[in-house]
Amino acid sequence: MDEFGPHDLASYLLVAVVLFCAGVLAVATRRNAIGVLIGLELMLNAAALQFAAYGHFRALPNDSQGQTAAVFVLVVAAAEAAVALALLFAVYRTSKDIDLEQTQELGS
């Protein structure tokens, strides 16, 4: 590997792997629901980065499949964040806590 910079696919993939591993670590170690959501967002952003990088470094010119997939991942991540935050607000209103191990159910 002669060059490791912005003109090399491996550098983008390395950043995506680091982001994904940080997301997995956040999801596995956090008890707070907000921390878990941030970990999920990191993992989705890593997937979007990989799609965009593969789309950019493909041999076919004027092919936007990678960028389209990355935008789709970002839209799904935004929808996931909106739904999850709405659920967190509902849990906080009922139990006054967002600790995932303490919260069993929403209640009535």
* Residues 54-103: tens digit of each pLDDT: 888 877 777 788 888 888 888 998 998 898 888 888 777 777 766 666 66
CA distances from 56 to 12, 33, 50, 53 (A): 11, 35, 10, 5
Angstrom distance (rounded) from CA 69 to CA 78:
14
> Where are the domains positioned within the chain?
9-95
The closest alpha carbon to 23, from 48, 46, 50, belongs to 46
User: What's this model's pTM, rounded to 2 decimal places?
Assistant: 0.76
Burial class (CB in 10 A: 0-12, 13-18, 19+), 6: exposed
pLDDT tens for residues 26-40? Answer: 999 987 878 888 899
CATH number of 9-95: 1.10.287.3510
Residue 108 is classified by DSSP as -
